[in-house]
C-alpha cells in the first residue's frame, strides 16, 4: 500500500504564467590551479576561503564506454567495490570515517566516467584525501568482495531495471542508434549483462582496477576552504607513491547522423500500456548545438507547462505521461542521444501517439519557440547553475565536467555563456537539423501478448 504515498508526493499541476525578463548576471568566477603529479594524477585546486567546507572529488576516466564485448557491467560494479575497504581502511570504514567527521559522501557511474566525492568540514579534508588515495592504491579486490558486490549489482538490476516497466526499454533506446561494430562504447547498456557478470572472474576485475583505477586515469578536484600549498603537499604525500598505470586503450565511436529512419518494436515484460520512444542522435556535449538542444528539451518536455505535456498529455489526453531526456547516461565525448518518451493512454493507438509527438516536434522545428519560453529555459538553467555553485561539491562537479568534456577546467567559467548566447533561431535550427525523421529511431514498446483473465 506504500505505493499510494508515492502518488501523493507527485500530485499538483500548475498552469503556466508569464516569466520576467532575462538579465545578464554572472556567477562568481571560479579560481583554478591545475597541475599533475609524476604518476599522471591530474589535480585541480579551487580554493575558496569564503566557505568552511572542502569537497574532495575524484573522477576516474572509466565508464561503460570502456567496456569490451563479454565484459560489460564492470564500470558499474566498481561503484560498489570502492567501499569494500583497502589496506588500511576496513570494509565500510570510508563511509564511517566521513560521517564521524560530520561529512557527507556518494559516487556514481555513467557512460564516460565514474565519480566519488565527499564534502567535509575544512579541518578534515586531509582525511578525505587520504581515504581517496587509500582506495586508489590498495582497494581490496578479493574473491569474497567481488562475489558479494556482484550479487548486490544483480539484485539491483533485477529490482531497479528488470522489474520496472519501461526502464529496460528506455535504456535500450539510449543504445539503439549505435552500431555495436563501430561504436560498442555507446551501443551496450551501462548496467551490463547478467551473463557477463556471471562469467567474470576476480582476475578480470583486478585487471580492470589496475588499468582504469590508476592515477594517470584520474582527476582529483578540491574545492573550498583549504590552503593551496598545504593541499599540494598532502596530495604529494598521499598520492605520489601510487604507481602510474598503463595508458588505457583509446575509445572510438563512429556513428552516422541521418542514417535513415529506423523503427523497432520491443516487448516490455512489465508494461501494460504501449509507449513510444523517439530517439534522436545528437552531437557530443561540447558541440555548440548541444547547448541549444538542452534548452530545447526543457521547452519541449520539462515540467507541466512543457509543450509535449500540454499538447499531448493534457489537451489531447493521448498520453499518461511524457518525458524528454538528453544524455541520460551521462554526457558523451562522442555522439549522444535525445529521447522523447510518451506512454499511451488507454485506447490510444501507438500510431496516433507517434503522429502527435512528431507533430509537436515538427511544429517547434517550423515555428520555433517564443521569447518567453526561451527566457524561462535560460532562467532555469542559470538559476540551477548558480545555486549549485553555492555548494563546494556541485562546483567540483562543474569543474570536472568542464575538464572532461569541454577541454579544460577553465571552461567552467565560460560555460554559462554557451547557453545564454543561444537565440530563437538556434533553437529552430537544431530542431530542424536533429529532430528529424531520418535522424530518428522510433521504438514502439509493447506490452507482452498473452491471455488475460
Q: Which is nearer to other proteins, 395 or 439 (CB)?
A: 395
Q: Is 352 in the site for other proteins (CB under 8 A)?
A: no
Q: Which is nearer to other proteins, 165 or 248 (CB)?
A: 165
CA gap 453, 447 in Å, rounded:
15
Would you put residue 452 in left (φ > 0), alpha (ψ -120 to 50) or beta? beta
Compute the least distance from the CB of residue 375 to other proteins, in Å.
8
CA gap 221, 210 in Å, rounded:
21
| Contacts (CB under 8 A) with other proteins, residues 131-170 | 131, 133-134, 137, 156, 159-160, 163-167
| Contacts (CB under 8 A) with other proteins, residues 372-401 | 376, 379-384, 386-387, 389-392
Compute the least distance from the CB of residue 224 to other proteins, in Å.
9
Q: Is 278 in the site for other proteins (CB under 8 A)?
A: no
Q: What separation, in Å, do the N-terminal and C-terminal C-alpha atoms of the chain show?
A: 23
| Contacts (CB under 8 A) with other proteins, residues 323-342 | 323
| Contacts (CB under 8 A) with other proteins, residues 202-261 | 232-234, 236-241
Q: Which is nearer to other proteins, 17 or 181 (CB)?
A: 17
Return the DSSP state at 89.
B
- Candidates 31, 104, 349, 408; binder of other proteins (CB under 8 A) is 104
Compute the least distance from the CB of residue 69 to other proteins, in Å.
29
Would you put residue 174 in left (φ > 0), alpha (ψ -120 to 50) or beta? alpha
Compute the least distance from the CB of residue 237 to other proteins, in Å.
4
CA gap 37, 215 in Å, rounded:
9
Distances (CA, A) of 347 to 317, 344, 353: 11, 8, 11
Q: Which is nearer to other proteins, 254 or 390 (CB)?
A: 390
| Contacts (CB under 8 A) with other proteins, residues 8-67 | 8-20, 23, 25-28, 35-38, 48, 50-53
Q: Which is nearer to other proteins, 322 or 433 (CB)?
A: 322
Interface segment toward other proteins; rule CB under 8 A; list 69-77, 94-102, 188-196, 278-286: 94-102
Q: Angle at the Cα of 439 (from 436 to 440), degrees rounded to 5? A: 90
Q: Which is nearer to other proteins, 229 or 249 (CB)?
A: 229
Contact call for residues 438 and 278 (beta carbons, < 8 A): no
Distances (CA, A) of 221 to 44, 80, 109, 115, 417: 5, 21, 17, 11, 23
Residue 53's closest CA among 106, 101, 108?
101
Instruction: Give the burial class of 100: count Cβ atoms within 10 A of its Cβ; 0-12 exposed, 13-18 middle, 19 or more buried.
Output: exposed
- Candidates 79, 91, 122, 354; binder of other proteins (CB under 8 A) is 122
Amino acid at each position: 500500500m506504500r505505493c499510494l504515498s508515492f502518488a501523493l508526493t507527485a500530485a499538483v499541476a500548475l498552469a503556466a504564467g508569464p516569466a520576467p525578463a532575462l538579465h545578464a548576471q554572472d556567477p562568481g568566477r571560479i579560481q583554478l590551479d591545475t597541475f599533475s603529479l609524476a604518476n599522471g594524477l591530474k589535480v585541480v585546486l579551487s580554493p575558496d576561503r569564503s566557505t568552511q567546507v572542502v569537497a574532495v572529488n575524484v573522477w576516474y576516466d572509466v565508464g561503460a564506454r570502456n567496456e569490451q564485448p563479454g565484459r560489460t557491467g564492470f564500470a558499474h560494479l566498481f561503484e560498489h567495490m570502492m567501499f569494500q575497504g583497502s589496506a588500511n581502511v576496513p570494509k565500510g570504514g570510508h563511509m564511517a570515517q566521513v560521517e564521524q567527521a560530520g561529512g557527507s559522501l556518494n559516487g556514481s557511474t555513467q557512460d564516460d566516467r565514474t565519480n566519488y566525492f565527499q564534502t567535509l568540514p575544512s579541518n578534515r579534508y586531509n582525511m578525505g584525501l587520504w581515504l581517496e588515495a587509500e582506495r586508489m592504491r590498495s582497494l581490496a579486490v578479493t574473491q569474497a568482495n567481488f562475489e558479494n558486490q556482484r550479487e548486490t549489482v544483480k539484485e539491483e538490476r533485477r529490482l531497479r531495471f528488470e522489474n520496472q516497466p519501461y526502464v529496460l526499454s528506455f535504456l535500450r533506446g539510449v543504445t539503439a542508434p549505435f552500431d555495436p561494430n563501430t561504436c560498442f562504447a555507446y551501443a551496450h547498456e551501462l548496467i551490463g549483462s547478467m551473463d557477463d557478470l556471471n562469467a567474470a572472474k576476480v582476475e578480470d576485475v583486478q585487471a580492470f582496477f589496475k588499468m582504469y583505477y590508476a592515477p594517470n586515469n584520474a582527476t582529483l578536484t578540491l574545492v573550498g576552504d583549504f590552503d593551496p600549498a598545504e593541499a599540494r603537499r598532502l596530495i604529494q604525500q598521499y598520492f605520489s607513491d601510487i604507481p602510474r598505470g598503463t595508458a588505457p586503450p583509446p575509445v572510438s565511436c563512429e556513428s552516422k547522423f541521418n542514417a535513415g529512419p529506423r523503427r523497432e518494436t520491443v516487448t516490455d515484460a512489465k508494461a501494460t500500456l504501449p509507449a513510444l520512444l523517439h530517439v534522436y542522435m545528437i552531437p557530443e556535449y561540447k558541440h555548440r548545438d548541444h547547448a541549444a538542444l538542452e534548452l530545447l528539451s526543457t521547452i519541449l518536455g520539462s515540467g507541466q507547462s512543457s509543450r509535449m505535456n500540454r499538447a499531448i498529455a493534457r489537451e489531447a489526453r493521448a498520453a499518461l505521461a511524457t518525458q524528454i531526456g538528453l544524455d541520460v547516461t551521462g554526457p558523451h565525448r562522442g555522439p549522444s542521444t535525445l529521447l522523447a518518451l510518451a506512454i499511451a493512454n488507454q485506447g490510444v493507438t501507438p500510431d496516433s501517439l507517434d503522429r502527435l509527438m512528431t507533430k509537436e516536434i515538427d511544429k517547434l522545428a517550423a515555428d520555433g519557440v517564443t521569447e518567453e519560453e526561451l527566457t524561462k529555459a535560460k532562467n532555469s538553467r542559470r538559476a540551477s547553475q548558480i545555486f549549485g555553485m553555492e555548494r563546494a561539491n556541485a562546483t567540483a562537479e562543474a569543474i570536472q565536467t568542464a575538464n572532461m568534456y569541454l577541454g579544460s577546467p577553465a571552461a567552467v567559467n565560460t560555460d554559462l555563456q554557451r547557453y545564454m548566447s543561444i537565440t530563437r533561431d538556434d533553437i529552430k535550427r537544431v530542431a530542424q537539423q536533429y529532430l528529424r525523421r531520418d535522424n530518428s529511431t522510433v521504438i514502439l514498446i509493447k506490452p507482452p501478448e498473452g491471455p488475460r483473465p
